[in-house]
Amino acid sequence: MSEFHSWGMLTALGAFHGVNPGMGWLFAVALGMQERSSAAVWRAMGPLALGHALAVGAAVLAALAAGVVVPAPAVQWLVAVALVAMGVYRLARGRHPRYGGMRMGAAELAIWSLLMATAHGAGLMVVPLVLHEGVAPGPAIGVTLVHTGSYLLATAMVAAAVYGWLGLAQLRRVWVNLDLVWGVALVLTGVATPLL
């Protein structure tokens, strides 16, 4: 796999995470509607990106650390099994847990984003590309930043479009169940991991 291809996949994966409502844009829109302000939508972007970056960075660093003491093929298989298990879990579990209210500050939103990205396996999905390329800790930061930048751009575009143009009433009519797509993507990534 070429370096360009890997970075392209990393960017596309970030955008895919960004369009997933469970990764934050729906939360940003809800905050905007609650405060009746597009500024609230934009204020949510920084904490959402920070939480996502922390989840991805933690997964990448954990895989790199494991690769120091465990042979790379064993790490690949461990990641593959974890991805397939998360995907099957997402497919079998048809709904998201419901938490408390929407009132939260930037720190709470960043923590929420970290937890959601971790629970959805966002960081874990980046690990196969990192393992394939044999990325060292320094470039791993670049991987995290490129992926998060793509995530942030997609999240901001969807949130702005839904809040400013589409609206929640229209969103209900055109809703696509991305949990199904997400579960399938996790399983496929897990199956492909040992093949990389």
Q: Which is it for the CA torsion 162, 168, 171, 175, positive or negative? A: positive
Q: Is there a contact between 24 and 43 (Cβ–Cβ < 8 Å)?
A: no
pLDDT value at 98 more than 60: no
Identify which has the larger pLDDT, 67 or 29. Answer: 29
pLDDT by residue (tens digit) across 135-171? 566 677 888 889 999 999 999 999 999 888 877 666 6
pLDDT value at 115 more than 90: no
pTM of the model: 0.74
Q: How far apart are CA 143 and CA 129, in angstroms?
A: 9
Q: Is there a contact between 51 and 133 (Cβ–Cβ < 8 Å)?
A: no
DSSP codes joined into one string, 18-67 = HH-GGGTHHHHHHHHHHHT-HHHHHHHHHHHHHHHHHHHHHHHHHHHHHH
- pLDDT confidence band for 1 (50 / 70 / 90): very low
Domain boundaries of the chain, sorted by first residue = 3-195
Q: How far apart are CA 105 and CA 25, in angstroms?
A: 16
- Report the pLDDT value the prediction gives residue 157, as an integer from 0 to 100: 95
Mean of the per-residue pLDDT values of the chain: 79
Half-sphere exposure of 161 toward its Cβ, with a 13 Å CA cutoff? 11
- pLDDT confidence band for 185 (50 / 70 / 90): confident
